[in-house]
Amino acid sequence: MKALLIFSLVMISQCQLHAQNRPVEILKQMNEDWIRSYPTKDSATLERIFAKDFSLISPRGNKMTRRDVIGNLKRQEILSVNIDSVDVRMLDEKIGVVTAYMTFVSKEDNALKTGRVCYQDIYMQRKKRWWAVAAHVSLLSVH
């Protein structure tokens, strides 16, 4: 009987741990999908990820709406991306913050440039679905 009780407690704690990690894995996947959409110019992915009220502060300090970011996707020449590191912190069960570093190769004025950015994205669960609601991008280097 005692062994059954211990087994039950272990199983309950494992289920709770899995439930807590599920949003982290969802947000990591959404982050990866978002970043991978740049080289392929996959606007459908961004439309699936961004909330209607999404806003982003660009490396130049410009506030951009969902429409601005998706429209800008077609004009950018991002050839490759690599997520160097990603950290997800859950503020509560419905709000998560993704902090990541990324390197990229872009083409600008017929020249290849390599850059590195750090960014922070805020995700919110609304009606049982996760959405990116805000982002801030800082350019660390480009050459």
| Residue ranges per structural domain of the chain | 2-142
Predicted local distance difference test score (pLDDT) of residue 21? 81
- The answer to whether 118 touches 101, Cβ cutoff 8 Å, is yes
Number of C-alpha atoms within 13 angstroms, CB side, residue 132?
A: 29
- How far apart, in whole angstroms, are the C-alpha atoms of residue 94 and residue 105? 34
pTM of the full predicted structure?
Answer: 0.85
Residue 115 predicted with pLDDT over 80:
yes
Query: For 53-82, what is each residue's pLDDT tens digit?
Result: 999 999 999 999 999 999 999 999 999 999
Predicted local distance difference test score (pLDDT) of residue 3? 61
Number of C-alpha atoms within 13 angstroms, CB side, residue 66?
A: 15
Q: Quickly state the pLDDT bin for 16 (edges 50, 70, 90).
A: very low
DSSP classification of residue 76: -
Between 71 and 20, name the one with better pLDDT: 71
Q: Quickly state the pLDDT bin for 111 (edges 50, 70, 90).
A: very high
Per-residue pLDDT, averaged over 108-112, amounts to: 94
- How far apart, in whole angstroms, are the C-alpha atoms of residue 42 and residue 74? 9
Predicted local distance difference test score (pLDDT) of residue 4? 57
Predicted local distance difference test score (pLDDT) of residue 14? 54
| In 1-143, alpha helices (H) | 2-40, 43-49, 66-73
DSSP classification of residue 80: E
Answer whether CATH 3.30.460.20 is correct for domain 2-142: no
